[in-house]
Amino acid sequence: MASAKTILIVDDEPDALESAKTALGEIGDVTTLTASDGVTGLEKAQEAKPDLIILDVQMPNRNGFEVFTDLKKDPATRDIPVMMLTGIADKVGIGFSAEDMGEYMGTEPNAYLEKPIDPIELQKTAARLLGL
């Protein structure tokens, strides 16, 4: 039997955190940790070393791009898969992708989903990244 997987969800929107926790609870034996800002999310990632990090882009106290950069620079967290979430396209009408982020930052996340998140898409993407 596979061991439980840990997912860290970092998002400043309480409703988004709860929706993600609920959806991810249905994919198997997973434990979810949460953080509501970038600084706390980075600290929890470094302490818990989760199997997957789901990271919102627009957050207080370090945005998702800054946290992503720090995660990838740290040998203890650089190999943890990261799924980025954003509602930027919905707000400004400009789409963004993992490939765009890779070109812009030099490293791309393992997945990039637009908000509002489709729970089924979130489940499928998380399961793929966790190898479930």
More confidently predicted of 86 and 91:
86
| pTM of the predicted model as reported, rounded to 2 decimal places | 0.86
* Partners of residue 33 on adjacent β-strands: 8
- For residues 120 and 6, give the distance between their C-alpha atoms in angstroms, rounded to a whole number: 19
Rounded to 5 degrees, φ, ψ at 36 are -110, 10
* Partners of residue 113 on adjacent β-strands: 85
Give pLDDT tens digits for 48-65: 999 999 999 888 889 888
- For residues 120 and 88, give the distance between their C-alpha atoms in angstroms, rounded to a whole number: 21
What pLDDT, on the 0 to 100 scale, is given for residue 30? 93
Domains of the chain and CATH, by start? 5-130 (3.40.50.2300)
- Joined together, the tokens standing for residue 73 give 């620079």
Residues 6+ apart with CB under 8 A from 107: 68, 69, 72, 101
